[in-house]
Amino acid sequence: MAYTSQARGWFTKEVADYDTPSKRERRARAQQLAQELGTTANRVAIAWLTNQSFPGIAIVGPHRADQLSDCLGAGDVALSAAHVEWLNNGDQNHRI
């Protein structure tokens, strides 16, 4: 179970605790994929958690109804194995 599945808002705003070069790159990949899929980076992050090779549960902690709606929409995001791999590693030569 991922109890910080939204990384304290990292996919929607700056959070100093999560601000490292590698995490900024991962957030950028989530934002890019979200744009291509017509969804949000937050939904992509939650979908990534639930699309691993092992069973997973994303525990979310929204503060507002719109945040809850965004989280629940992650169930509609279909990630391929290539999407998950690209989010993990960001191979620059790989097109999603």
- Give a yes or no: residue 42 inside a domain: yes
- Give a yes or no: residue 96 inside a domain: no
- Give a yes or no: residue 37 inside a domain: yes
The structure's pTM equals 0.78
User: What's the rounded Cα separation, in Å, for the pair 84 and 48?
Assistant: 6
pLDDT of res. 2:
54
Domain that holds residue 67: 7-89
User: What's the rounded Cα separation, in Å, for the pair 13 and 83?
Assistant: 23
- Maximum distance among all Cα pairs of the chain, rounded to whole angstroms: 39
47: its two tokens: 């979908």
The neighbouring-strand residues paired with 2 are 58
- Give a yes or no: residue 1 inside a domain: no
Whole-number percent of the chain with pLDDT over 70 = 76
pLDDT tens string 16-57: 666 788 888 888 999 999 999 999 999 999 999 989 888 888
Domain total for the chain?
A: 1
| Nearest of 57, 70, 82 to residue 9 by alpha carbon | 70
- Give a yes or no: residue 95 inside a domain: no
- Give a yes or no: residue 50 inside a domain: yes
pLDDT of res. 96:
56
Q: How confident is the model at residue 58 (pLDDT cuts 50, 70, 90)?
A: confident
pLDDT of res. 65:
94
Answer yes or no: are the C-beta atoms of 8 and 61 closer than 8 Å.
no
- Give a yes or no: residue 76 inside a domain: yes
User: Phi and psi for 2 in degrees, rounded to 5?
Assistant: -95, 110
How high is the mean pLDDT of the chain?
Answer: 83
20: its two tokens: 């490292």
**Residue 67 confidence (pLDDT) above 60:** yes
Angle between helices 81-89 and 21-37 (to 10 degrees): 150
